Structure 1
Amino acid sequence: MSDANKSVSIWDAESWRIYKRLLGYTWRYWAVGLVSLFGMLADGAGQAIFTNLLKLITDDLFAKKDPYLIFWMPIWIISIFFVRSVGTFVSNYGISYMGRHVVQAIQQDVFDAYLRLPAAFFGAEPSGQQISRITYTSEQVAAAATDSIKTVVTDGFTVIAMLAVMLYNSVYLTSALLVMVPAIALIAAMVSRRYRRISRRIQGSMGSVTGTVEESVGAHREVRVYGGQAHESNRFSEVTRRTRGLNLKIAATNATSSSTIQLVAASALAALVFLGTRPRVLNEMSPGVFLAVLTAMGMMLPALRRLANVQANVQRGLSAAEDLFEIIDLPPEPDDGTLLLGRTRGELSMQGIRLVYPRSEVEALRGVDLHCAPGTVTALVGRSGSGKSSLVSLLPRFYAPSSGRIMLDGENYESYTLASLRRQIAWVGQSVVLFDDTVANNIAYGELAGASEADIVAAAEAANAMEFIARMPQGIHTQVGQSGNMLSGGQRQRIAIARAILKNAPILVLDEATSALDTESERLIQQALQRLMKDRTTLVIAHRLSTIEGADQIAVMDQGRIVERGTHAELLALGGHYAALHRMQFHDHAAEQAGD
């Protein structure tokens, strides 16, 4: 029993820590919050004053027909409700203002955290879960950070004000509250932990919903071609069914809490009526006093119910904040380098490189040794899964070698700062990444954004991209759509090559850079790349061996190792893996030509 109590107390301490941190976002807008607070207090005070006036209205206005009250009471009522309406507007708008700013600030912090997290993070978690944090989870924190505060302040003050009205008019009748307050406090404590537990599961289920939609929409062609509509529909139905079930559990808990509180409140009202109808009390108490106390309790009950139910918003918000803060607090990708690299000569040396990806037990690289002289072209060839992409992904330090070291200009490349190291590398991958922006902004992306229009056009011409860009409605200022979906695969790849040309980095990585090009475009691009590769250290991952015959060295990889190394002629003469691959492609090409 003591252990259980201990765990609850620790849990409560953790909840308070998260909530205080969440309120730190709200505190940035303390001035707006202070104005909103005055609005809440004006609303609650107006309600209490009006309730207290009921005694005068009943006993003096109607019973005694006091001419003073007959004249002034309508004016007082209008004034009270005018103040309440202003207070309501100020508090509601102020809280909404704070809430939207808090959501934006947390969304920005989570997004910025994504930008600095290591590559291993994105491979370990579904992208749907990452998107859900920005679109759904961050919205939940507003309820805990602002809306719940409004409920606590407004309804808390209402309860206190109504209690003051009741005590002012009759301490005796106020004793009926002894039936209600402890019971409501017990109910709120019981449902709090259930809200938190279910809310945490809802965060995960929303990530599953987002991920399922993202996959199905992204693969809409495959879904249609392979007749997967029924499968995807059933998969989505199963995910949303789980989410629906969790939300219904929240609704059931909320409904049970509300109905129980309503029953307790009815008991308190019954106790009030019972106490007020005792013969001695009936003879001594005026109808106005009883009406004021009864109305005050009636107004107190909805406020108490909302205070009890605010647990749902708070616990949902705390669960969301806990998930978001975990991401914000994750350590960024390591950058222990202290040396600033101006422009490297491009001498690369990989010594005994081994790589095991996080949450994997299989070595992707097993003792790779490779030296790339400055200004030379090194081609990496081999079957899929042989470790080519893993090897080049180490260059920008997307991953760190599990053992071994990479030397750049005779210095361990981990000694350089991450930013200065990555400025030395231009990258063109087989999966081209374009952004929903103009052609010009996709070529001059990131740190290249200051490039002149003439330089952008020159880079596009060198990549043979102006051929189709010139036909676009607004030339280089034409929008390319999300992920460049308004362009063909070959066009997207040529824009990516233009981006690499514009960067003019001393190290160039080409990962199947011409795989999406037709024969004519590939020939023109190869000419552009030959000019680009001059005086640059280039690593080329190539599937078509005909594109790398002129490389200074070719490294053949198999199962994470370099099994052969040499020039095209040397490897053919060796008659090993490379010769077999070349022979296979030569026969395939000959067969294609015969078919044509």
Structure 2
Amino acid sequence: MAGPGGRMMAGGGPDQRTLDFKGSSKRLISRFRPERGTIYGLLACVVLSVGLSVIGPKILGRATDLVFAGIVGRDMPEGATKEQVLDAMRARGEGDVADMLRSTDFTPGEGIDFTAVGNVLLFALAVFGVAGLLMAFATRLVNRAVNHTMFRMREDVQTKLSRLPLSYFDKRQRGEVLSRATNDIDNIGQTLQQSMGQLINSLLTIIGVLAMMFYVSWILALVALVTVPLSFVVATRVGKRSQPHFVQQWKSTGTLNAHIEEMYTGHTLVKVFGRQEESAKQFAEENDALYEAGFKAQFNSGVMQPLMFFVSNINYVLVAVVGGLRVASGTLSIGDVQAFIQYSRQFSMPLTQVASMANLVQSGVASAERVFELLDAEEQEADPSPAEKPAELRGRVALENVSFRYDPEKPLIEDLSLKAEPGHTVAIVGPTGAGKTTLVNLLMRFYEVSGGRITLDGVDIAHMSRDELRSGIGMVLQDTWLFGGTIAENIAYGSSREVTRAEIEEAARAAHADRFVRTLPDGYDTVIDDEGSGVSAGEKQLITIARAFLSDPVILVLDEATSSVDTRTEVLIQKAMARLAHGRTSFVIAHRLSTIRDADTILVMENGAIVEQGAHEKLLAAEGAYARLYKAQFAEAVAEVD
């Protein structure tokens, strides 16, 4: 959609809200409720894995003590006790060494007990191996929970898109909506896959390691906790700086995707009007905006990891200094200090991991809010329950004092009334913007009337289900719509039941599409894409008309349906429509008045109101708005001939 000056409409216009990180995070987590069993299994595996991983350093510390005790004991006089050796040291003035060895469990005269050391190391290996297997199983459970949750979210988005009113899509670019349904959901899935299990593991590791640190030495544990407030301040400050950039990054992604989709869909038009340079320039601008937002988001969040490493190293230095003093005083063994240094690393590492995952989490939550905005969008009014339906669907349509406006401040249709009897053809003519297509949109309930009512065989269509209403209406628009598949499949799309090839070909013959289809290399099995490549605009229109014929509707709506076909084919289609319209109500919107001269009733609309209605000859004799339109077209045709 072109805006002022020919510039394309910005993609994220309607949704410029600030990210509610806390609320969106809670809402995203709440979507895992159906996976409670898997989550409980995940937590059990992670708790056991973390528990085994946490006791590992303590076991290795025991091995270190055994080796150190053997090294110390082999140089001591055999047969003496530990206390005798330490007293002798103090007597020789080696009191500091004696204090340090006080906490070491050595036996004078005995060297390293390699059997005991081997048993301890094997036990440690078994502990770490089981911890690894449990973590691998936990990862599998994470994948299961995340994939199931993303599966349901995609289903919710698909269901939501089908319930959104036409007005929602009128206000947004198609590529921007598609970006929410594809890129943003994929980003949420990747974020959860990479961070969910790791976050749980890191949080439980912090708790487990902290407990072991207090068990080994409460003084060293308090020293290690000194840097925690600093880590929290770093994470909070950096997170607040980077979060707005992640929000902008995904908005810019949606805008860029909308532009790419728009330019690709209309690439022929872009080339015809020589707008490649302008298109490339706008792409460059939006690409630059995405680069800037992405760079700032990643840079700001990326600063967190080196800062957390710095804080971790401060913690390491403090623990090493205080631990060394405790060993020197004989309060702790070397093995305990070694274990504690490992614990301090284990304590700092999850904090660093959580901080380094901040960019992932922030990016995922930014995408989650964009998806939640889509899921929270106002839906079309629900069908009434129980829904009414006509006793017999014959096609009598009546508009009773109908009013409608797209913008509450700008009235479009006011107090419009008309009746269409079964089997009659009602042609609607008028200048552009008179409300012709709007009338059809109201009949199909793409929009709801602002006032008055529309009835089908005496039943207010607002009291009918949309599926019931639309199942009786066949519609052919000026803009053709095809999907990737064979021509036969495209025609069969018009029927809600299984149809035979004979029925498809019969509908094609009725629409005069059979002749050109059979000239194609694979006939009805010719595969076309959603752009209809390989067939002309007129041939695409014939396929869509055949689709409408196959649906066998009670009401037929043709909105400029013959605008893309040549004059000879138009005449043939008019004859086919006359056969199809027998016993059915037909609404025909046309600019070329020559196509609707045989209509039972012609409605002339201006500014949302019917200014004239009647048969062709009667309206010409009235010398009113219709006569002016007809004469203008006749004069134009004469000028073209001249």
Structure 1 counterpart of 2:59, from 53, 58, 66: 53
Cα shift at 1:210: 1.1
Q: Secondary structure at the match of 2:452?
A: strand
2:79 alignment counterpart: none
Q: Does 1:551 align with 2:551?
A: no
**Equivalence for 2:381:** 334
Instruction: List per-residue Cα deviations over 1:533-583 (Å, max 9, x = no partner).
Output: 111111101122111111111112222222222211112222233223222
Listed as ranges, the matches of 1:117-516 within 5 Å are 117-142=164-189, 147-278=194-325, 281-337=328-384, 338-341=387-390, 343-358=392-407, 361-445=409-493, 448-516=496-564
- Range with bigger deviation, 250-259 or 26-35: 26-35
Measured against aligned partners, the alpha-carbon deviations of 1:124-153 in whole angstroms (never above 9, x if no partner) come to 222222111111222233366554431222
Report the residue type matching 1:266 in the other structure.
N
Are 1:22 and 1:145, in contact at CA under 8 Å, matched by a contact in 2? no
| Alignment partners' CA distance in 1, 2:484 and 2:45 | 44
Equivalent-residue separation in structure 2 for 1:342 and 1:433 (angstroms): 33
1:571 counterpart residue number: 619
Q: What is the SS of the residue equivalent to 1:515?
A: coil
CA distance in 1, matches of 2:534, 2:129: 57
Deviations 1:279-300 (A, max 9, x none): 7745443322221111221122
* SS of residue matched to 1:378: strand
Q: Are the counterparts in 2 of residues 38 and 87 from structure 1 also a CA contact under 8 Å?
A: no
Structure 1: distance between partners of 2:321 and 2:137: 40
Distance change (3 Å), C-alpha of 1:291 and 1:145: same
Please tell me the residue identity of whatever aligns with 2:216: N
Give the match for residue 154 of structure 2.
107
With 551-560 and 327-336 compared, the bigger mean Cα shift is at 327-336
Query: Which amino acid counterpart does residue 585 of structure 1 have in structure 2?
Result: Q
Counterpart AA for 1:329: D
Q: Note if contact 1:341-1:420 (Cα within 8 Å) is conserved in structure 2.
A: no
Q: Tell me how far apart the structure 2 counterparts of residues 459 and 446 of structure 1 sit (CA, whole Å).
A: 10
8 A contact 1:441–1:449 mirrored in 2: no
| CA offset digits 1:309-357 (Å, max 9, x no partner) | 4444444333333332333233432245431235422222223322210
Letter in 1 for 2:404: L
Q: Hey, what does 1:534 align to over in structure 2? A: 582
| Deviation for aligned residue 1:448 | 1.8
Please say if residues 491 and 546 of structure 2, whose CA atoms lie closer than 8 Å, have aligned partners that are also in contact: yes
Identity %: 31
CA distance in 1, matches of 2:552, 2:458: 22
Deviations 1:378-407 (A, max 9, x none): 111122222111111110111122223223
Aligned residue identity for 1:421:
L
Of 394-403 and 434-443, more deviation after overlay is shown by 434-443
Note if contact 1:23-1:145 (Cα within 8 Å) is conserved in structure 2.
Answer: no
What is the TM-score with the length of structure 2 in the denominator?
Answer: 0.84
| 1:155–1:307 Cα contact (<8 Å) kept | yes
AA of the residue aligned to 2:567: T
Q: Which stretch of structure 1 is more off in the superposition, 131-140 or 570-579? A: 570-579
Q: Which moved more, 1:99-108 or 1:542-551?
A: 99-108
* SS of equivalent to 2:483: coil
Name the CA shift for 1:61/1:520 in 2 (closer, same or farther; >3 Å).
farther
Q: What is the alpha-carbon root mean square deviation over aligned residues?
A: 2.7
Q: 1:517 aligns with which of 546, 565, 571?
A: 565
Q: In the TM superposition, what is the alpha-carbon distance from 1:428 to its structure 2 partner?
A: 0.4
**Aligned partner letter, 2:61:** K
Aligned residues: 582
1:88 to 1:477, Cα distance in 2 relative to 1, 3 A? farther
**Distance in 1, Cα, partners of 2:523 & 2:379:** 39
Distance 1:446 1:274 in 2: 80
The answer to whether the 8 A contact 1:195-1:316 is kept is no
Paired residue secondary structure (2:399)? strand
Pair 1:22-2:28 in alignment: yes
CA–CA separation in structure 2 for the residues paired with 1:504 and 1:557: 29
Q: Which residue of 1 aligns with 2:91?
A: none
Residue 484 of structure 1 aligns to a residue whose secondary structure is: coil
In 1: Cα distance, 2:530 partner to 2:149 partner: 28
Is the Cα contact below 8 Å between 1:343 and 1:424 reproduced in 2? Answer: no
**Structure 1 residue 237: Cα displacement:** 1.9
> How far is 1:509 from its partner?
0.5
Bigger drift between 220-229 and 59-68 goes to 59-68
Q: Which stretch shifts more, 483-492 or 122-131?
A: 483-492
Give the C-alpha shift of residue 96 in structure 1: 2.6
Larger radius of gyration: 2
Alpha carbons 1:438, 1:478 under 8 Å: kept: yes
**TM-score, reference length from structure 1:** 0.90
Q: Which moved more, 1:376-385 or 1:158-167?
A: 158-167
SS at match of 2:577: helix
Do 1:378 and 1:552's aligned partners in 2 also have CA atoms closer than 8 Å?
yes
Deviation at 1:42, TM superposition (A): 4.8
Classify the secondary structure of the residue corresponding to 1:530.
helix
Question: Which secondary structure does the structure 2 equivalent of 1:274 belong to?
Answer: helix
Conservation of the 8 A alpha-carbon contact between 2:390 and 2:457 = no
Amino acid at match of 1:177: A
Alpha-carbon distance change, 145 to 24 in structure 1, aligned in 2, over 3 angstroms? farther
Paired residues of 1:553 and 1:567 also in contact (CA < 8 A): yes
Q: Secondary structure at the match of 1:434?
A: coil
Instruction: Indicate the residue corresponding to 2:5 in structure 1.
Output: none
More helix by share: 1
- Quick one: which of 140, 144, 147 aligns to 1:93? 140
